[in-house]
Amino acid sequence: MVFTPSPMLLKLLYTRGSLHNLPQEAGVAFSIKNRLDNAKVTGFKQVQIGEVVIPAANIRVDLGGGELRPAADINADGQAVELPVGRTLTFLLDTPALAEGIHPVQVWFSTDAFGDLHVEVEDAIVGTANVKPRIPRSEEDDYSEAAIAARQRFAEQFSDTEFTHLKHYSFDAHQLQGNCEHFMGVAQIPVGLAGPLTVNGEHAQGDFLIPLATTEGTLVASYNRGIQLLNLCGGVKCTVIGDAMQRAPVFVFHDARGARDFGKWVEDNIDQIRPQAESTSRVAKLQYIDTYLSNKFAYLRFNFSTGDAAGQNMVGRATFAACSWILENYKDHKVEHFYLESNFATDKKASQINVMRTRGKRVVAEAVVKRDVLMQRMRVTPEQLAYHGQVSNVGAFISGANNNGAHSANGITAMFIATGQDVANVSESSAGILYSEVTPEGDLYISITIPSLIVATHGGGTGLATQNECLQMLGCVGRGTVRKFAEIVAGVVLAGELSLGAAISSSDWVSSHEQYGRNR
């Protein structure tokens, strides 16, 4: 199933800022980029700029890679042009050069998926700005040895520096397509080992050796110390209690009543919206839509399950399809404006809504630490740690922190770098709710809830060379392993909370850093 784009969304096909005059009076050009869904272009009718109509006979289409096609030759009878999501087509128009200023642009063409389309926008011809040196790239193969070497030479000449280590790597650079643009080398980050950690999860069961990529002294040692403590007490119990990834569009109306009525309509039509969203992916499943109203705005928070992928791009595409159907079918009030992301999903940002409603995996790690083991290994009592936790809660409350624990971001970041996660997701994933109490037996119960742990074992950087090897070390490669990975991460986080919390309580924190973490 492919969705029908509304006129409002059709404008997004045009790449604003792409309108320009070709050199040597050779005509005018602009670009379109498929930001909707996979399709084939089955024909071109014409382009109109201002009052000037350019027929298909006077248009060529640059398909990339040096391939040019007359627009008049593109048709549904074996001459269609593949237009997957993300592909750009450049129109070369045989028409006089345009004057500087704003010009209305209209394009008529046909597709197999969407039918006949009419895109109408405005774009501008601007004067030539000061030209800066451009990073070398190859249109044919930007991950070839020649293209990479050209960028290395460019960087050395530009910075007047010779690179000895940055240029050396051990994998085929073509694997980076879709992960890194303008590739020229690698930043080698040390990977230390902690563990093995005994995890008693529903998905992760057994002993796991933990790879931690970091340049911070004492970090690996600290986590290893916490892991040893947990192992002596039977390991860590981990549970995934929530799983959802969001995209949050906003619809703008003339007044608050329009927004209110729209929110009710969305609620009543969820069964029609769901198949539109799920048509874009075999994996993404729409769980529910939360509606939040403010002023004259209706914020919709689409919540999806995304399999083993983190899923931000997946849910963006699915939500786009759903919203296109909504824009086409909602008739009660005029939608004044629409934006696919309203900042309400809080992508790459910590937020209270993620703490309350979950983003990614919501995971709890918990353990009962025996009194004698805690005193012998960490030189603190359960009462000391529990009381320290109460004092720290006040400090976290006053400061407005999103975490009342010690340093969950340390372990999460080190594991993210090692395993090819999107490291910027530490912004959300670092949120934590730490709780401890002294049991009737005099032991320490301690647990941490990570409400928005965004992890993947498929897609993104997880398939790259060293990152995939670290996932293999954890046994988290293959279908159905993402919750296993989430449980392991949560267990490591709890180990770090115990270790650092005890170090601060026993005043070993500074001395440990002086002994193990100095590099000056």
User: Among 496, 485, 482, which residue's Cα sits nearest to residue 403?
Assistant: 496
Residue 454, number of CB atoms within 10 A of its CB:
26
419 sits in which H/E element: helix 408-419
Helices (H), 2-80: 7-10
Strand partners, 290: 301
Residue 426, number of CB atoms within 10 A of its CB:
20
Backbone angles phi, psi at 309, to 5 degrees: -90, 155
Question: Is 271 part of the annotated catalytic residue set?
Answer: no
Contact 496, 406 (CB under 8 A): yes
Q: How far apart are CA 250 and CA 297, in angstroms?
A: 7
Strands 39-49 and 444-453: unpaired
Strand partners, 125: 101
Marked catalytic residue, from 156, 328, 341, 513:
513
Angle between the N-to-C axes of helices 371-378 and 219-232, in degrees from 0 to 180, rounded to the nearest 10 = 150
Q: How far apart are CA 441 and CA 382, in angstroms?
A: 11
Backbone angles phi, psi at 142, to 5 degrees: -80, 0
Contact 255, 295 (CB under 8 A): no
Strands 444-453 and 360-369: antiparallel
Contact 448, 494 (CB under 8 A): yes
Asked if the peptide bond before residue 196 counts as cis, ω within 30 degrees of 0, the response is: yes
Marked catalytic residue, from 120, 156, 216, 261:
216
Phi-psi sector, 264: left (phi>0), alpha (psi -120 to 50), beta:
alpha
Contact 106, 118 (CB under 8 A): yes
Angle between the N-to-C axes of helices 371-378 and 482-505, in degrees from 0 to 180, rounded to the nearest 10 = 70
Question: Is 278 part of the annotated catalytic residue set?
Answer: no
Question: Is 407 part of the annotated catalytic residue set?
Answer: no
Marked catalytic residue, from 37, 278, 366, 422:
422
Q: How far apart are CA 252 and CA 496, in angstroms?
A: 45
Strand partners, 109: 44, 117
Q: What is the 3-state secondary structure (H, E, C) of 200-262?
A: EECCCEEEEEEEEECCCCCHHHHHHHHHHHHHHCCCEEEEEEEEEEEECCEEECCCHHHHHHH
Both structure tokens of 285: 């499943």
| Beta strands per DSSP E along 269-381 | 285-294, 297-305, 337-339, 360-369
Write out the catalytic residue numbers.
216, 422, 513
